[in-house]
C-alpha cells in the first residue's frame, strides 16, 4: 500500500471523491474567529440541535465569553463522561461503516492524509486567535487546536460514510466552521466558546 499515490487513490475510489474538497474547506475555514462573541441565532440553532442529536436532550447551549472560563471547561472536560462515551460510540460506528467499504490500510492512509493536510492550518489559526485575544497560554492553544483536529477527524468520518447533516459530528463541525469552539457536554450544559 505504501507505493500507492494518495492522489491516485482519491480519484479511483468513489467513496473518497469528497476528500480534496473537504480538505479545502478545512484549510479555508475561519477557525476560532468568533470566540467570546455573542452567538448568532444560527449558532444557537446548531448548538441546540447538538445535545439531542448526541443523546442528551437536556444539554442546553451555554456560550462562554471569557477564555479563562473556556480553558477551565476544557481542562475539566472528563474523557470518561457519558457524552464522551456517546461520541466514542458514534466514532466507532462510523469507522466500522467505513471499514465495510475500505480496507484498513486505505482507511488509515486517507485519514493520515487529511490530518497532514489540515493540522498546520488549524494550529496556525489557534495561534492567531490566541494572539488576537491576547491569550498567553500555550496549553490553551494546544487544547483549542486539538479539539479542532478531533472535529475534523469526526467530520471526515461523517463525510466519507455519507452520514446525515444532522449527525452530532456534523453539527459540532458546523460550530467550528462558524468560528466557535464547542467544548463539550457537562451536566445539563453544552459548553461553547
Q: pLDDT tens digit string along 111-158? A: 999 999 999 999 999 999 999 999 999 999 999 999 999 999 999 999
Nearest one of 59, 61, 77, 63 to 188, comparing CA atoms: 59
Residue 1 is predicted with a pLDDT of 46
- Alpha-carbon distance of 94 to 100, in angstroms, equals 10
**pLDDT band at residue 76 under the 50/70/90 scheme:** confident
Q: pLDDT tens digit string along 10-32? A: 556 556 678 989 999 999 999 99
- Alpha-carbon distance of 119 to 27, in angstroms, equals 9
- Alpha-carbon distance of 65 to 69, in angstroms, equals 8
Percentage of the chain lying above the pLDDT 70 cut: 90
Q: What is the mean pLDDT of residues 93-106?
A: 92
Q: Is the pLDDT of residue 71 over 70?
A: yes
Residue 159 is predicted with a pLDDT of 93
**pLDDT band at residue 44 under the 50/70/90 scheme:** very high
Residues 6+ apart with CB under 8 A from 184: 73, 74, 77, 81, 83, 84, 190, 191
Q: What is the mean pLDDT of residues 32-52?
A: 97
* 153's grid cell: 477527524
Rg of the chain over all Cα atoms, to the nearest angstrom:
17
Amino acid at each position: 500500500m505504501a507505493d500507492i499515490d494518495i492522489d491516485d487513490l482519491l480519484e479511483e475510489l468513489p467513496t473518497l471523491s469528497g476528500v480534496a474538497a473537504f480538505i479545502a474547506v478545512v484549510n479555508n475555514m475561519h477557525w476560532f474567529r468568533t470566540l467570546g462573541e455573542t452567538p448568532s441565532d444560527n449558532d444557537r440553532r446548531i448548538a441546540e440541535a447538538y445535545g439531542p442529536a448526541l443523546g442528551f436532550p437536556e444539554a442546553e447551549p451555554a456560550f462562554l465569553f471569557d477564555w479563562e472560563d473556556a480553558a477551565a471547561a476544557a481542562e475539566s472536560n472528563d474523557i470518561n463522561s457519558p457524552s464522551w462515551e456517546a461520541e466514542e460510540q458514534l466514532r466507532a460506528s462510523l469507522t466500522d461503516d467505513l471499514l465495510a467499504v475500505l480496507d484498513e490500510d486505505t482507511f488509515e492512509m486517507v485519514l493520515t492524509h487529511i490530518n497532514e493536510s489540515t493540522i498546520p492550518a488549524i494550529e496556525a489559526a489557534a495561534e492567531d486567535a490566541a494572539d488576537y485575544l491576547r491569550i498567553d497560554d500555550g496549553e490553551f492553544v494546544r487544547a483549542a487546536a486539538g479539539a479542532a483536529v478531533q472535529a475534523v477527524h469526526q467530520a471526515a468520518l461523517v463525510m466519507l460514510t455519507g452520514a446525515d447533516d444532522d449527525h452530532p459530528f456534523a453539527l459540532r463541525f458546523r460550530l467550528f466552521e462558524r468560528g466557535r469552539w464547542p467544548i463539550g457536554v457537562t451536566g445539563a450544559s453544552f459548553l461553547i466558546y
